[in-house]
Amino acid sequence: MRLTSFISSGFFGATVDLIFTALPQELIIAIAELALLGTIGNRLVISFASTTQQDKLRIASNKPLALFKVS
């Protein structure tokens, strides 16, 4: 039972790989961007919506925020 599932998943992976290598690179990038669009949008909405929690964390840490070790 397990051997057949491993073989079938191997064939499925090879088929997906063959499809993606046959398509143009620009189309693959566009599909990846569309797949990430919902996640990025959701994270932006969450980060801008809960500013009170971010302010509490900033006050609790009492340290300046640094980006790339530049504060």
Which contiguous run of DSSP H or E holds residue 38? helix 25-49
CA distances from 22 to 17, 18, 70 (A): 9, 6, 45
Measured distance CA(54)–CA(60) in Å, rounded: 10
As a whole number of angstroms, the distance between CA 39 and CA 47 comes to 12
20, amino acid identity: F
Give tens-digit pLDDT for 28-45. 889 888 989 888 888 777
Place 14 in a pLDDT band, splitting at 50, 70 and 90.
Answer: very high
Fill in the amino acid letter for 62: N
Q: How far apart are CA 4 and CA 10, in angstroms?
A: 10
pTM, two decimal places? 0.45
